[in-house]
């Protein structure tokens, strides 16, 4: 697992936000995010998701 940018390979609008499927280009881990306007919060959210999967 790594902290690099993830690659978005699918996205979909949903209830005031954007649902995205992401893939880490280094370790090929795939996960989904639901993004709202709060982009800064999103990054923290994504990293938390990654750490949760890692542990
Ligand atoms: Zn990775």
Residue 23 is predicted with a pLDDT of 92
Q: In terms of Cα–Cα distance, which of 26, 31, 37 is closest to 49?
A: 31
**3 Cα: distance to centroid of ligand 1 (angstroms):** 6
**32 Cα: distance to centroid of ligand 1 (angstroms):** 14
Residue 22 is predicted with a pLDDT of 92
**23 Cα: distance to centroid of ligand 1 (angstroms):** 8
Helix (H) or strand (E) holding 33: strand 30-35
**19 Cα: distance to centroid of ligand 1 (angstroms):** 20
8-46: pLDDT as tens digits = 989 998 777 889 999 998 888 899 988 776 555 666 666
Quickly state the pLDDT bin for 52 (edges 50, 70, 90).
Answer: low
Three-state SS at 48 = helix
Whether pTM > 0.75 for this model: the answer is no
Q: How many residues does the chain have?
A: 55
Is 25 or 48 the better-scoring residue by pLDDT?
25
**4 Cα: distance to centroid of ligand 1 (angstroms):** 7
């Amino acid at each position: 697992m790594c902290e690099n940018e993830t690659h978005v390979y699918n996205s979909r609008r949903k209830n005031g936000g954007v649902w995205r499927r992401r893939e880490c280009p280094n370790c090929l881990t795939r996960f989904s995010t639901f993004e709202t306007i709060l982009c800064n919060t999103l990054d923290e959210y994504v990293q938390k998701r990654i750490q949760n999967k890692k542990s």
